[in-house]
Structure 1
């Protein structure tokens, strides 16, 4: 994987990248993410929240992606940089409570 990063901790590889199958790959909007780890991989499950109450959530599972820990760490560095760039351009992103139980009362 060629990784471009401003971070000095991530090696920058310069390669021409050809992406195949773009037309066939599904595109999803996700507003629900579940992350689980094991010794060998990290699982990210993307879903769409369909209904929510204080006692119950209905989430439609859209896609599950498995990454090696090294790949997940590289993705997290790149994602953090993109969020930082976004906030420098558009302002701070407000954060929502993780669950209804953590919401301010």
Structure 2
């Protein structure tokens, strides 16, 4: 018995009527057994000693989707660094929000 191959499916991508693009320089991640939440925001330095994060979107994904995103991000960052050089990350103290959130 020979294995059957599935025909290649075509992927049609359409933007929802309320689709928008934005810029984030802050991403916080919260996780539970069932999902992960990515909170996107922009950091504003309101005084020399104070950073304010204004969150504008929260996206929930399954742990499986988060792992798939990790693989895609790793591939894309590796390709970016291959083309343009190593991405340096300054050693700054990342404020942790109480609870299970982690910020970057």
The TM-score normalised by the length of structure 1 is 0.73
CA shift at 1:95, angstroms? 0.7
1:7 maps to: none
Q: Paired residues, what number?
A: 88
Question: Which 4+ residue blocks in structure 1 deviate beyond 3 angstroms?
Answer: 52-55
> Are residue 20 (structure 1) and residue 14 (structure 2) matched?
yes
1:58 maps to: 52
SS in 1 for 2:91: coil
CA shift at 1:19, angstroms? 1.3
Q: Which runs of 5+ in 2 are unaligned?
A: 1-7, 96-104
1:29 to 17, 23, 33: 23
Change (3 A) 1:22 1:82: farther
Q: Which runs of 5+ in 1 are unaligned?
A: 1-13
Which structure shows the higher strand fraction? 2
Alignment of structure 1 residues 18-97 onto 2, 5 Å: 18-21=12-15, 24-51=18-45, 55-97=49-91
Q: Point out which structure has higher relative CO (alpha carbons under 8 A, 6+ apart).
A: 2
Deviation larger for 59-68 or 23-32: 23-32
Deviation larger for 50-59 or 84-93: 50-59
2:99 maps to: none
**Structure of larger gyration radius:** 2
Kindly report the root-mean-square deviation, in angstroms, between the aligned alpha carbons of the 2 structures: 2.2
